[in-house]
Amino acid sequence: MNGRRTIGFLLLIGLVLWGCSGVHPTSNAVWIAQPEFSEVDNRLYSARIAPQKGESPYFSFFLLTLTNKSSVDLVVDWNASQYLFNGKPQGVMVFEGIDPEAVKNAMVPLDTVAPGASFSL
């Protein structure tokens, strides 16, 4: 796995999340995302991240889809990820089902995307 590809991908996700971050609104505020999603597409992978509201009036989570277009496994190291808020790192990206102790100890399992496969969360 090329370390530069992994770092570049993680930085990209951090920048996208930074662009969609903000303070929780009051109940009468309306949140919209423009663009509705951010996407990167190159010869190695395509990545799409979109803010989601769920049942909230504000964006409360993101939907990430990653497609490996290369001929080798693409490994995502969540322990090396960064969530940016107002342009400043706030910690690693955490998803539903990840043990908080694993985050605290930087032992979040790697995710591997096989060649030609897609990964969503």
**For position 56, what pLDDT does the model report?**
80
- Return the pLDDT at 105: 93
In this model, does residue 111 exceed pLDDT 70? yes
Mind listing the pLDDT tens digit for each residue in 75-107? 999 899 887 667 788 778 777 788 889 988 999
Decide if 103 contacts 87 (C-beta within 8 A). Answer: no
Determine the pLDDT at residue 32. 73
Domain ranges across the chain: 3-120
* pLDDT of 28 strictly over 80: no
Percentage of residues in the chain having pLDDT higher than 70: 71
Distance CA 36, CA 34 (A): 5
pLDDT class of 22 with cuts at 50, 70, 90? low
Number of H helices, E strands in the chain: 2, 8
Give strand ranges (E) for 1-121: 38-41, 45-52, 61-68, 74-76, 83-85, 88-91, 111-113, 118-120
> What is the C-alpha to C-alpha distance for residues 19 and 16, in angstroms, rounded to an integer?
5
How is residue 113 written in tokens?
């995307």
Confidence label for 43 from pLDDT (cuts 50, 70 and 90): very high
d(CA 121, CA 97): 11
